[in-house]
A and B are shown apart, each in its own frame.
Chain A
């Protein structure tokens, strides 16, 4: 029997987290949920605890990379076999988690990424965002030699070896994209599976096209630096 952990980083997600945790509990009653409260000032932590999730309250807002790594360190310490990253904002429908867990249990890859662009997703990103997504996909596919379509997807599952690797080192700035390059350098296998995603429930992502391009350049720079890094497995 595989021990499975859902890692859910949350920063001020009181509006949406109740629905997400309840839905995961209903959909997958046998998995544990770990909420990493990244210094929220609202009731996020309180709500999650009330629903029976394990909550780690970070002492200050440490950013997504450090928060996610905390989850992986917990997973490694507690001996979990599979860890699934799920956003607390409701973007990742709990009924899709099984599509990530199944290939992880069959050990078909070390990291399984839920992609919005494989299969029948009706996700329509804005023009600037779409350009960024295409560029990242092309660059990361070229570096890793895997055909990847959704490198910014935070909906992913990691196997035991990968959990241990992340517990040791996890990028801080743009972890979704950077991690793929680091995993490849450390010799891990990456695969994508088609999933559906919802538009986010609470909060909003409001970036202008100019900000999107700036973001793209920063991520690409981080990726090129990662290519120069020495990676220990």
Chain B
């Protein structure tokens, strides 16, 4: 076993354990953790199952198969970041709506108070 393989296995186990721990402690919501978990599992499988990694790498003309792991990790990171951008857009739209609703509520509350005084 090459040392790069040992490093890859330890690294992917580390990522997997940290994510599960963050979910367990309530610091990461499951819906945002799914992509992380999938990428950790895929990386772990490819690190342990060397022959599968070699097969995929050679079919893609990647000469040094461990470098294919980097490609996989990179693609997952891209997906995760894109996922976050979508979530941020959704949250900012909701934030806008909330702010608008609060502002309108404040205005109608003031009007009710004014009419009560009269």
Tell me if chain B binds chain A: yes
Cβ contact within 8 Å between B99 and A54: no
Give the interface size class of chain B. Answer: under 10
Specify which chain B residues have a CB less than 8 angstroms from the CB of A44 in the assembled complex. Answer: none
Restricting to B98-118, which residues have a CB under 8 Å from any CB of A?
A: 99-100, 102-104, 106-107, 111
A residues contacting the other copy or chain, number (CB 8 A): 15
Q: Which of A51-74 contact B (CB under 8 A)?
A: 54-60, 62, 66, 69-70, 73-74
Contact status A59-B102, CB under 8 Å: yes
Contacts of A66 in B (CB 8 A): 96, 99-100
With both chains docked as a complex, state the minimum distance between the C-beta of B113 and any C-beta of chain A, in angstroms: 13
| A residues near B107, Cβ cutoff 8 Å | 54-57
User: Is the CB–CB distance between B99 and A56 below 8 Å?
Assistant: no
The majority secondary structure among interface residues of chain B is helix
Cβ-defined partner of A77 (8 Å) among B99, B103, B104: B104
> Do the beta carbons of A62 and B104 come within 8 Å of each other?
no
Specify which chain B residues have a CB less than 8 angstroms from the CB of A69 in the assembled complex: 100
Contacts A56-B103, A56-B107 given; 10 further ones with Cβ under 8 A?
A55-B107, A57-B103, A57-B106, A58-B99, A58-B100, A60-B99, A66-B96, A66-B99, A73-B100, A77-B104
* Contact surface of A with B, Cβ cutoff 8 Å: 54-60, 62, 66, 69-70, 73-74, 77, 172
Instruction: Enumerate 28 A-B pairs (CB-CB under 8 Å) in ascending A order.
Output: A54-B107, A54-B111, A55-B107, A56-B103, A56-B104, A56-B107, A57-B103, A57-B106, A58-B99, A58-B100, A58-B103, A59-B99, A59-B102, A59-B103, A62-B96, A62-B99, A62-B100, A66-B96, A66-B99, A66-B100, A69-B100, A70-B100, A70-B103, A73-B100, A73-B104, A74-B104, A77-B104, A172-B96
